[in-house]
Amino acid sequence: MERTLSIIKPDGVQRGLTGNIVQRFESAGIRIVGMKRVCLSKKEAEAFYAVHKERPFFDSLTSYMSSGPVVVMVLEGPNVIQRNRDIMGATNPAQAAPGTIRKDYGLDVEKNTVHGSDAPETAAKEIAFFFSELELMR
Ligand code: UDP
Ligand code: MG
């Protein structure tokens, strides 16, 4: 059993895609064990994406991620880190496979509708960024 962090980015929340995206996860048998809507400050977005701080898109990305509410979720299931990445599609919606969230809804390489952790270590870090242990206890 594995957990991963998913974020519905501002472009997804703003366009009312939360229900559709949640349904894709649930239809795939993935359990949502934590979920909340939050507004990130610029500083919080910078902290979350700190791994990208040297990249040319860092300032634009963190401004965008703090431009409106996001929905953060903890997904649980076997191999859910990779399965979520498969459901999301490639970073650039133009290169994402048919039927993926980013292909169906992504606006451009920045406003690509969803985030998903990429490995067990980043998943643990990203989940702890948004959720306390108590919130995820069952
Ligand atoms: N991003 C961007 N320009 C790029 C690459 C990435 O604006 O050239 C943004 C995009 O929103 C992406 C995020 O930065 O989702 C994190 O980049 P990463 O390479 O980790 O892609 P992801 O893991 O989200 O597919
Ligand atoms: Mg990434």
DSSP designation for 16: T
Supply the pLDDT for residue 137.
Answer: 85
pLDDT above 90 as % of the chain: 99
If you average pLDDT over every residue of the chain, what do you get? 98
Residue (of 115, 101, 82, 70) closest to 3 by Cα position = 82
Residue of 48, 60, 61, 100 to mutate, ligand 1, most atoms within 8 A of C-beta:
61
Ligand 1 pocket (Cβ < 6 Å) reads 52, 57, 61, 91, 109-110, 112, 115, 118
The answer to whether residues 39 and 111 touch, using CB atoms and an 8 Å cutoff, is no
The answer to whether residues 29 and 38 touch, using CB atoms and an 8 Å cutoff, is no
Q: Is the pTM of this model over 0.85?
A: yes
Q: Given the CA of residue 91, which atom of ligand 1 is nearest to it?
A: 25
Token pair 């952790």 is found at: 117
**Alpha carbon 30 to chain centroid distance?**
14
> Is residue 138 over pLDDT 90?
no
Please list all protein residues whose beta carbon sits less than 5 angstroms from ligand 2, which is an ion: 118
Q: Provide the token pair at 117.
A: 């952790």
Beta bridge partner(s), residue 72: 7, 36
Supply the pLDDT for residue 118.
Answer: 98
